[in-house]
């Protein structure tokens, strides 16, 4: 079974070393998204990247991970994402925050009774 619909994707680019009250910033963002009841959040650790500083951060064999980029992706209905944005204001995020209108496609198996995160969209 397949369902489709419009949504808004919130992408937050931070550094692996960014923290909020002795906790990784990405973890705080995911916990706030969960508490707000959003459909889902995913954290992706980059292997290489650069930002406003123009310094390349990489995870090469001969270097230990040097403050690698981290991407937090949250997707939900547009109004829910926009309601969530003020929950990020006090985090002093130094990275880029991007919003994209997306079309979601949900593949579900009707015989499964377990709800998935995307079923809330």
- The confidence band for 106, taking pLDDT boundaries of 50, 70 and 90, is confident
Q: Which residues fall within 8 angstroms of residue 113, CB to CB, at 6 or more apart? A: none
Asked if residues 35 and 29 have their Cβ atoms less than 8 Å apart, the reply is: no
Cα 20 from Cα 9, distance rounded (Å): 23
What is the structure's pLDDT at 47? 79
Residue 62 lies in a domain: yes
- 59 falls within a domain: yes
Q: Does 115 fall in a domain?
A: no
Q: Kindly state whether residue 2 falls inside one of the protein's structural domains.
A: no
Is residue 76 a part of any domain in this protein?
yes
End-to-end CA distance of the chain: 15
**Average pLDDT of span 45-60:** 67
Structural domains counted in the chain: 1
- Tell me the per-residue pLDDT of 73-91, one tens digit each, with 9 for 90 and over: 999 999 999 999 999 999 9
CATH code for the domain in which residue 100 is found = 3.30.70.120
Mean pLDDT of the chain: 84
Beta strands 41-45 and 97-107: pairing type?
unpaired
* Structure confidence at residue 95 as a pLDDT band (50, 70, 90): confident
Which residues constitute the domain of residue 80? 8-104
Residue 47 in 3-state DSSP? coil
More confident site: 85 or 94: 85
């Amino acid at each position: 079974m397949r369902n489709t619909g419009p949504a808004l994707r919130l992408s937050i680019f931070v550094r692996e070393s960014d923290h909020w009250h002795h906790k990784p910033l990405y973890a705080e963002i995911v916990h706030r998204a969960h508490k707000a009841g959003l459909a889902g959040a995913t954290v992706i650790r980059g292997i290489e990247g650069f930002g406003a500083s123009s310094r390349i951060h990489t995870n090469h064999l001969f270097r230990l991970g040097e403050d690698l980029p981290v991407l937090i992706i949250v997707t939900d209905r547009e109004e829910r994402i926009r309601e969530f944005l003020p929950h990020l204001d006090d985090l002093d995020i130094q990275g880029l925050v991007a919003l994209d209108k997306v079309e979601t496609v949900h593949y579900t198996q009707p015989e499964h009774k377990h709800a998935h995160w995307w079923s809330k969209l």
